[in-house]
């Protein structure tokens, strides 16, 4: 076994192995499943290929390989309770997989799995066990095909091919749909891994209940379509879907007894040990906190990199909960100051190459972790001491289970997630009533009027805003449904301050320098939605003396909209009359970009095809971004055509018609709706152009009144956003002018430097390039003449190694051809000699030529072997024919040493 191979290398070798077998590498999809509302997190490699198996999507490849980021922390696969307490469970983990979409089948899948496990990674064949499907009900045929293929693998023990029923070896996506038998690969880790040895009735076996046999890899063969409980149809094309647990295979190859002792997680625990100042013995004693911190911090870093920051609802809640749980386990080993940022740095270093999103979001990850840790520290003490009093009274009253409403109160007012309350209780031998916890939460949600918008979980901030909202609604200061002034028509409205908020408390006035939030009776500000960013602007008194700068707006609870910002001058108090002013220039920029996004979508469908579907968009003042489904990169010709046609549409000066109508009607008129988006009964539609509109979409955003307001439209980039999804970025109006101006100035300046007119620029540059090539040729000629001249001198002073004339020359930036020419000369001049020519290229790598003359070859010398041995000592590779060979290397500092000890290399093999 190759025990010293790193986890990163194992991942790389898996991908390379299948790439060599014709697979396309498909990057891991996000932990947030796109378009799949039924799933909180991506929990298996197949999530991003689900549509292909269902036949609703097509991919430009038939074979794929990937390493998928997965999270299992809620729902059916909830491992959280076990994470940290044993050596195998994780919240975040990686799944390696190879995929065939109607291409290869069992024969290839099985032999490749065997090959990489036993040949590439050197697993002992006698330790491998495999399982195949045999229906215990006798309804579905036994998978003899898989078993037969296993028998063909060199060195497999036939007794290790065993059959299991539906529970273990039949895979189904759902009640109906694609399904098929699976074949699992297990490894026997040896008797010492059995944790049930004390148990007299126990015997170890595959799919048993001890830790001796470890399931590594599941090969699923999708060959049926389930039409009903008792009806299977053969699929016209069979698929392969495999999943190899990455942490597990690394623990087996590195021969350690725990996933946490692999180099995927151990380095994180080393950092924890450094920060805590504990010794290795102490770490072994407190291994649970170490495991929890390493696991949770790795998971949180990956989540934040995928845009899931700590918060109160859904995925964001999970992110918050695991950070807080890690922080509390940290306090158990004496870590009081924020420490997760330091561990996250290690996570980014360790995983950043395979998952570049970590590097890209480096700062966001560290900032969010640290902020959340601080937030938790400021409330946790209060919460834990209250929990302590609950525990004391449970001891007194001899109760074992904490009431759910008390646990909910700990969360809602002290920020203690249920999971932490449960940890603390369990550590003291108690439990919590989870059912009544969720009932309390539901009751709270309904009484606060949160409704659907607020999601499944409440939180400390939200409760505060509900309080304000209900009071203001009661006093009829704001409207219950939250409908306020039309944000699309007027950029200035006169209204009244109804609430001022500072540091999560209502106050009666704010003055210069205060960071605060303002609620007004009405607002004309646009709040971020549908990809369009929020407005910015001002709230000021009529005389213009008291000015509040609005940086952001948000809706923290139904009915209430807060303007967030800073009091620039003067003061404001509750009840004061004010003007609410949207930043006009900025709003205009946003409008131009939003309308241009609609034109872009219309052109994409015309030019690329009707399959183009919006997959996300972002409309900001300085640019627009549009993601859409399309299998291939958009060619530069297509991009040019799209840009041209959008500009034509702008110049066509169509008017925009905005109407409100019933959803059914809009859809039947052909309006474009977002796939998977839920719309209300009545919708707003945007038509560009009268009669048959140029573009017709459901949209709530702000738009120009006539397309010519957009000015110019320029595409600034096109690239891949995810598998099968392309991204176009573009600019309009003022930003487009800025870019044109900048590019033109660059061109003008270049023309000035070349002393030609802009029109002659192209031919001037061409001329320069030709001249440059001429000079390069001349330099090459001169350096070659110089080198040959040097050779003539060197050969006069040739040295001998064991009586063999040995030429040693060093060059820099000489062409390989020229070196070969010298080698040929040498072989002619010395019939029984050898030459080692070295050349340093660009100051950072070494090229070597080794030549051996014919007579010496007859005596058993071989240039290829000499080159290979030298290469090893300069960090590279080498080889070639007996008479002439080449080598390369990176360790320039070792070159002198090697050249001084040529006698070590010039010898017979």
- For the CB of residue 314, give the shortest distance to Zn ion in the complex, in Å: 25
- For the CB of residue 729, give the shortest distance to Zn ion in the complex, in Å: 16
Stretch that binds Zn ion, among 121-129, 149-157, 249-257, 692-700 (CB under 5 A): 692-700
- For the CB of residue 210, give the shortest distance to Zn ion in the complex, in Å: 3
Strand pairing partners for 74? 77
CA–CA gap between residue 773 and residue 784 (Å, rounded): 16
CA angle 610, 616, 619 (to 5 degrees): 115
Structure tokens at 199: 């148990």
Stretch that binds Zn ion, among 99-107, 391-399, 664-672, 697-705 (CB under 5 A): 697-705
- Identity of the residue, 194 or 557, whose beta carbon is nearer to Zn ion in the bound complex: 194
CA–CA gap between residue 68 and residue 66 (Å, rounded): 6
- Strand 24-25 versus strand 63-71 pairing type: parallel
- The alpha carbon of 611 is separated from its chain's Cα centroid by a whole number of angstroms, namely 26
Stretch that binds Zn ion, among 1-9, 219-227, 375-383, 698-706 (CB under 5 A): 698-706
- Identity of the residue, 146 or 596, whose beta carbon is nearer to Zn ion in the bound complex: 596
- Identity of the residue, 194 or 472, whose beta carbon is nearer to Zn ion in the bound complex: 194
Evaluate whether 217 touches 131 at the Cβ level (below 8 Å): no
- For the CB of residue 199, give the shortest distance to Zn ion in the complex, in Å: 8
Stretch that binds Zn ion, among 155-163, 206-214, 581-589, 823-831 (CB under 5 A): 206-214
Residues 270-329 that bind Zn ion (CB under 5 A): none
Binding of Zn ion at residue 212 (CB under 5 A)? Answer: yes
Binding of Zn ion at residue 416 (CB under 5 A)? Answer: no
- For the CB of residue 209, give the shortest distance to Zn ion in the complex, in Å: 8
- Identity of the residue, 140 or 599, whose beta carbon is nearer to Zn ion in the bound complex: 599
Q: Is the dihedral of CA 402, 404, 409, 412 positive or negative?
A: positive
- Identity of the residue, 209 or 515, whose beta carbon is nearer to Zn ion in the bound complex: 209
- For the CB of residue 520, give the shortest distance to Zn ion in the complex, in Å: 26
- Identity of the residue, 198 or 481, whose beta carbon is nearer to Zn ion in the bound complex: 198
Write b or e for each residue in 658-683: b if 16 or more Cβ atoms lie within 10 A of its Cβ, otherwise e: eeeeebeebeeeebbbbeeeeeeeeb
Residue located via tokens 């997760």: 340
- For the CB of residue 118, give the shortest distance to Zn ion in the complex, in Å: 24
- For the CB of residue 616, give the shortest distance to Zn ion in the complex, in Å: 12
- For the CB of residue 627, give the shortest distance to Zn ion in the complex, in Å: 14
- Identity of the residue, 105 or 696, whose beta carbon is nearer to Zn ion in the bound complex: 696
Strand pairing partners for 219? 183, 242
Binding of Zn ion at residue 671 (CB under 5 A)? Answer: no
- Identity of the residue, 71 or 656, whose beta carbon is nearer to Zn ion in the bound complex: 656
- Identity of the residue, 191 or 690, whose beta carbon is nearer to Zn ion in the bound complex: 191
- For the CB of residue 617, give the shortest distance to Zn ion in the complex, in Å: 7
List alpha helices for 754-853, DSSP H.
761-796, 816-829
- Identity of the residue, 128 or 468, whose beta carbon is nearer to Zn ion in the bound complex: 128
- Identity of the residue, 210 or 491, whose beta carbon is nearer to Zn ion in the bound complex: 210
- Identity of the residue, 204 or 323, whose beta carbon is nearer to Zn ion in the bound complex: 204
Q: Judged by CB under 5 A, how many residues of this single chain contact Zn ion?
A: 7
Evaluate whether 637 touches 715 at the Cβ level (below 8 Å): no
- Identity of the residue, 483 or 658, whose beta carbon is nearer to Zn ion in the bound complex: 658
Evaluate whether 599 touches 707 at the Cβ level (below 8 Å): yes
Binding of Zn ion at residue 701 (CB under 5 A)? Answer: yes
**DSSP per position, 310-367:** S-SSHHHHHHHHHHHHHHHHHHHTT--S--HHHHHHHHHHHHTTT-HHHHHTHHHHHH
- For the CB of residue 618, give the shortest distance to Zn ion in the complex, in Å: 11
Residues 465-494 that bind Zn ion (CB under 5 A): none
Strand pairing partners for 228? 231
Within 13 Å and on the Cβ side, how many CA atoms surround 899? 21
Nearest to 133 by CA among 218, 203, 54, 50: 218
- Strand 804-812 versus strand 834-841 pairing type: parallel
- Identity of the residue, 163 or 193, whose beta carbon is nearer to Zn ion in the bound complex: 193
Other CB atoms within a 10 A radius of the CB of residue 198 amount to: 7
- Helix axes 314-332 and 340-351, enclosed angle (nearest 10): 110
Strand pairing partners for 180? 171
- Identity of the residue, 210 or 899, whose beta carbon is nearer to Zn ion in the bound complex: 210
- Identity of the residue, 521 or 591, whose beta carbon is nearer to Zn ion in the bound complex: 591
- For the CB of residue 606, give the shortest distance to Zn ion in the complex, in Å: 18
CA–CA gap between residue 909 and residue 907 (Å, rounded): 6
Other CB atoms within a 10 A radius of the CB of residue 416 amount to: 24
Q: What secondary structure letter does DSSP report for 416?
A: -
- For the CB of residue 396, give the shortest distance to Zn ion in the complex, in Å: 43
Structure tokens at 825: 């000369």
**DSSP per position, 494-512:** EEEEEEEESSSSEESEEET
- Identity of the residue, 212 or 630, whose beta carbon is nearer to Zn ion in the bound complex: 212
Nearest to 685 by CA among 487, 670, 709, 653: 670
CA separation, residue 787 to residues 339, 646, 810, 814, 816 (Å) = 59, 59, 10, 8, 12
- For the CB of residue 730, give the shortest distance to Zn ion in the complex, in Å: 14
Under 8 Å CB-to-CB from 162, ≥6 apart: which residues? 129, 130, 131, 132, 206
Evaluate whether 840 touches 812 at the Cβ level (below 8 Å): yes
- For the CB of residue 878, give the shortest distance to Zn ion in the complex, in Å: 50
- Identity of the residue, 530 or 882, whose beta carbon is nearer to Zn ion in the bound complex: 530
CA angle 83, 284, 244 (to 5 degrees): 40
Quick note: the x/- pattern for Zn ion over 164-203, rule CB under 5 A, is: ------------------------------x-x-------
Stretch that binds Zn ion, among 204-212, 553-561, 571-579, 885-893 (CB under 5 A): 204-212
Quick note: the x/- pattern for Zn ion over 543-562, rule CB under 5 A, is: --------------------
Binding of Zn ion at residue 204 (CB under 5 A)? Answer: yes
- For the CB of residue 592, give the shortest distance to Zn ion in the complex, in Å: 13
Evaluate whether 650 touches 621 at the Cβ level (below 8 Å): no
**DSSP per position, 647-699:** HHHHHTTPBEEEEEEEHHHHHHTT-B--TT----SEEEEEEESSSS-SEEEE-
- For the CB of residue 208, give the shortest distance to Zn ion in the complex, in Å: 6
Residues 78-107 that bind Zn ion (CB under 5 A): none
- For the CB of residue 33, give the shortest distance to Zn ion in the complex, in Å: 24
Evaluate whether 418 touches 405 at the Cβ level (below 8 Å): no
Under 8 Å CB-to-CB from 896, ≥6 apart: which residues? none
Stretch that binds Zn ion, among 100-108, 212-220, 324-332, 829-837 (CB under 5 A): 212-220
List interacting residues with Zn ion (CB under 5 A): 194, 196, 204, 210, 212, 699, 701
């Amino acid at each position: 076994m190759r025990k010293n191979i790193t986890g990163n290398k194992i991942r790389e070798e898996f991908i390379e192995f299948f790439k060599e077998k014709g697979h396309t590498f498909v990057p891991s999809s996000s932990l947030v499943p796109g378009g799949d509302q039924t799933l909180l997190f991506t929990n298996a490699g197949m999530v991003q290929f689900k549509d292909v198996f269902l036949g609703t999507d097509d991919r430009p490849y038939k074979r794929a390989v990937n390493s998928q980021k997965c999270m299992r922390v809620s729902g059916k696969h909830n491992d959280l309770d076990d994470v940290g307490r044993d050596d195998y469970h994780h919240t975040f983990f990686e799944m390696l997989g190879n995929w065939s979409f109607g291409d290869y089948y069992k024969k290839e899948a099985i032999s490749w799995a065997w090959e990489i496990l036993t040949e590439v990674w050197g697993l002992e064949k006698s330790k491998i066990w495999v399982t195949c499907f045999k229906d215990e009900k006798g309804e579905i045929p036994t998978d003899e095909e898989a078993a037969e293929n296993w028998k063909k693998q060199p060195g497999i023990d036939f007794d290790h091919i065993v059959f299991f029923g539906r529970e273990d070896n039949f895979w189904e996506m759902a009640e109906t749909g694609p399904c098929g038998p699976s074949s699992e690969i297990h490894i026997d880790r040896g008797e010492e891994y059995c944790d049930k040895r004390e148990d007299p009735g126990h015997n170890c076996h595959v799919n048993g209940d001890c830790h001796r046999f470890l399931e590594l890899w599941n090969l699923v063969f999708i060959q049926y379509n389930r039409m009903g409980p008792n009806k299977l149809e053969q699929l016209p094309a069979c698929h392969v879907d495999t999943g190899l647990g990455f942490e597990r295979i690394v623990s087996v190859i590195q021969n350690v007894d725990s996933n946490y002792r692999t180099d995927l997680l151990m380095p994180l625990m080393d950092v924890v040990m450094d920060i805590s100042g504990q010794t290795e013995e102490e770490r072994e004693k407190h291994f649970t906190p170490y495991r929890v911190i390493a696991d949770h911090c790795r998971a949180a870093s990956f989540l934040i990199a995928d845009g899931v920051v700590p918060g109160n609802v859904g995925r964001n809640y999970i992110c918050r909960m695991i950070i807080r749980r890690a922080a509390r386990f940290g306090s158990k080993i004496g870590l009081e100051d924020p420490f997760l940022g330091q561990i996250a740095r290690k996570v980014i270093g360790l995983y950043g190459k395979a998952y570049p999103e970590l590097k890209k979001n480096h700062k966001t990850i560290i900032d969010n972790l640290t902020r959340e840790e601080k937030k938790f520290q400021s409330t946790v003490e209060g919460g834990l001491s209250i929990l302590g009093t609950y525990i004391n009274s449970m001891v007194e009253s001899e109760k074992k289970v904490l009431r759910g409403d008390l646990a909910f109160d700990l969360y809602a007012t002290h920020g203690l997630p249920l999971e932490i309350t449960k940890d603390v209780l369990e550590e003291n031998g108690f439990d919590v009533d989870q059912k009544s916890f969720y009932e309390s939460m539901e009751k709270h949600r309904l009484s606060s009027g949160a409704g659907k918008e607020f999601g499944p979980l409440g939180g400390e901030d939200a409760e505060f805003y509900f309080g304000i909202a209900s009071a203001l609604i009661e006093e009829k200061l704001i409207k219950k449904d939250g409908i306020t002034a039309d944000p699309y028509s007027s950029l200035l409205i006169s209204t009244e301050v109804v609430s001022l908020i500072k540091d999560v408390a209502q106050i009666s006035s704010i003055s210069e320098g205060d960071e605060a939030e303002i609620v007004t009776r009405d607002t004309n500000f646009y709040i971020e939605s549908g990809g369009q960013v929020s407005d910015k602007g001002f709230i000021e008194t009529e005389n213009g003396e008291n000015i509040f700068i609005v940086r952001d707006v948000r809706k923290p609870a139904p009915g209430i909209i807060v303007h967030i910002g800073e009091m620039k001058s003067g003061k404001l108090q509750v009840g004061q009359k004010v003007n609410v002013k949207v930043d006009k220039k900025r709003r205009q920029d946003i409008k131009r970009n939003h309308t241009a996004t609609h034109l872009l979508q219309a052109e994409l469908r015309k030019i690329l095809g009707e399959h183009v579907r919006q997959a996300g968009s972002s409309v900001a003042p300085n640019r627009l971004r549009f993601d859409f489904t399309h299998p291939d990169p958009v060619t530069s010709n297509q991009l040019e055509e799209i840009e041209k046609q959008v500009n034509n549409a702008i110049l066509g000066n169509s008017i925009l018609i905005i109407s409100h109508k019933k959803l059914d009607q809009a859809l039947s008129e052909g309006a474009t709706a977002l796939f998977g988006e839920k719309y209300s009964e009545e919708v707003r539609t945007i038509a560009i152009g009268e009669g048959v509109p140029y573009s017709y979409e459901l949209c709530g955003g702000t738009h120009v009144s006539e397309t010519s307001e957009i000015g110019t439209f320029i595409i600034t980039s096109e690239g891949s956003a995810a598998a099968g999804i392309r991204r176009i970025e573009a600019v309009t109006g003022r930003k487009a002018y800025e870019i044109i101006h900048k590019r033109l100035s660059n061109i003008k300046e270049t023309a000035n430097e070349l002393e030609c007119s802009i029109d002659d620029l192209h031919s001037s540059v061409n001329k320069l390039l030709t001249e440059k090539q001429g000079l390069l040729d001349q330099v090459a000629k001169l350096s070659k003449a110089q080198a040959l001249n040097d050779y003539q001198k060197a050969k006069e002073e040739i040295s001998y190694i064991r009586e063999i004339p040995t030429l040693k020359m060093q060059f820099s930036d000489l062409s390989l051809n020229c070196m070969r020419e010298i080698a040929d000369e040498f072989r002619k001049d010395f019939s029984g000699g050898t030459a080692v020519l070295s050349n340093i290229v660009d100051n950072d790598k070494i090229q070597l030529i080794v030549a051996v003359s014919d007579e010496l070859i007859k005596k058993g010398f071989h240039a290829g072997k000499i080159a290979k041995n030298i290469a090893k000592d300069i960090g590279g590779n080498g080889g070639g024919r007996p008479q002439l060979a080449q080598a390369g290397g990176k360790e320039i500092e070792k070159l002198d040493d090697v050249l001084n000890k040529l006698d070590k290399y010039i010898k017979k093999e």
